[in-house]
A and B are shown apart, each in its own frame.
Chain A
Amino acid sequence: MNLLKLFLGPRDLGQTKASGLVIAAFVLFLFALPALISDYEAMNFAYFLANVPLGLSMALIWGYCGVLSFGQVAFFGIAGYFYGMVAGNMVGIPGSEIIGVFTAVGMSVFVSAILAYFLFFARVENWIIPVITLVFTLLLETFLAQTAGYQWRVGTVLLGGYNGMTGIPSMRFFSGDPLYGYSFYYYALGFVTILFVGLRLFINSKYGLVVVAMREDLQRTELLGYDVRVWQFGVFLLAAALASFSGILYVQWGNYITPTQLGLVAAAQPVIWAAIGGRSSLFAVFVATVLMTWFAFTLSTQGNQLSLVFIGAATVVAIMLFKDGVVVSIWKKVSALIGADRKT
Chain B
Amino acid sequence: MDLVPLLVSLLYQGLTIAAFLILCSIGLMIILGMMNIINLAHGEIMMIGAYVSTILVSSGLPFFATLPVCFIVGCLTGYLIEQLFIRHLYDRLLSALVVTWGLGLILAQGTLLIFGPFMPSIEIPFGSIQYGDFTFSVYQIFLVAVAFGTLLGLHILFHKTPIGLKTRATMQLPEVARTIGIDQHLMYSLTFSFGSGLAAFAGGVLAPTTTIAPFMGTQFVAPAFITVVVGGAHNIITGTLYSATALTAVKTPVGMFLGAFAGTVGLFVAALILIRLCPNGLSSIKVFRTR
Contacts and interface: CB of A to CB of B under 8 A. Distances in A.
Interface of A: 62, 66, 68, 115, 118-119, 121-128, 130-132, 134-136, 138-139, 142-143, 146, 264-265, 268, 271-272, 275, 305-306, 308-309, 311-316, 319-320, 323
Given A118-B272, A127-B38, A316 B94 contact: no
Given A128-B279, A134-B221, 5 more contacts: A127-B36, A272-B102, A308-B105, A312-B109, A316-B103
A306 B109 CA distance: 8
Q: Lowest 9 CB-CB distances: which A-B pairs, in order?
A: A312-B105, A315-B102, A308-B109, A312-B106, A122-B279, A316-B102, A118-B272, A312-B102, A122-B276
A131 B261 contact: no
B98 A126 contact: no
24 contacts: A68-B98, A118-B273, A126-B94, A127-B93, A128-B229, A131-B38, A131-B228, A138-B221, A138-B222, A139-B222, A143-B261, A265-B105, A305-B112, A309-B106, A312-B102, A312-B104, A313-B102, A315-B98, A315-B99, A315-B101, A316-B102, A319-B89, A319-B95, A319-B102
A143 B263 CA distance: 12
Interface string B251-271: 000000000010011001001
A280 to B, nearest CB: 12
B273 A316 contact: no
Contacts of B265: 139, 143
A139 B268 contact: yes
Q: Label chain A's interface by main secondary structure.
A: helix
A320 B99 contact: yes
Contacts of A138: 218, 221-222
Contacts, number: 123
Interface in B36-81: 36-38, 40
Interface in B105-130: 105-106, 108-110, 112-113
Grouping DSSP codes into helix (H, G, I), strand (E, B) and loop, the B interface class, with mixed when no group exceeds half, is helix
Contact of A68 (B97, B106, B222): B97
A311 B221 contact: no
Interface string B220-250: 0110011011000100000000000000000
Nearest to A121: B276
Nearest to B110: A309
Interface range for B:
35 or more
Contacts of B88: 320
A142 B98 contact: no
Contacts of B9: none
A119 B276 CA distance: 7
A320 B89 CA distance: 8
A135 B104 contact: no
Nearest to A62: B94
Contacts of A125: 233, 279-280
B85 interface: yes
B36 to A, nearest CB: 7
Interface of B: 32, 36-38, 40, 85, 88-89, 92-95, 97-99, 101-106, 108-110, 112-113, 218, 221-222, 225-226, 228-229, 233, 261, 264-265, 268, 271-273, 275-277, 279-280
Among B93, B104, B222, the most chain A Cβ lie within 10 Å of the Cβ of B222
A131 to B, nearest CB: 5
Nearest to A130: B97
Contact of B279 (A124, A136, A313): A124
Contacts of B102: 268, 272, 311-316, 319
A277 to B, nearest CB: 14
A264 B106 contact: no
Contacts of A313: 102, 106
A32 to B, nearest CB: 35
A159 to B, nearest CB: 15
A190 B242 CA distance: 53
A291 to B, nearest CB: 18
Nearest to A265: B105
B229 A316 contact: no
A316 B106 contact: yes
Given A135-B221, A139-B222, A264-B218, A123 B113 contact: no
A314 B101 CA distance: 12
A125 B93 CA distance: 12
Nearest to A305: B113
Contacts of B37: 127
B98 A275 contact: yes
A118 B275 CA distance: 7
Nearest to A67: B94
Nearest to B95: A319
Nearest to A136: B268
B31 to A, nearest CB: 11
Given A264-B218, A309-B110, A313-B102, A132 B261 contact: no
B280 A311 contact: no
Contacts of A315: 98-99, 101-102, 105
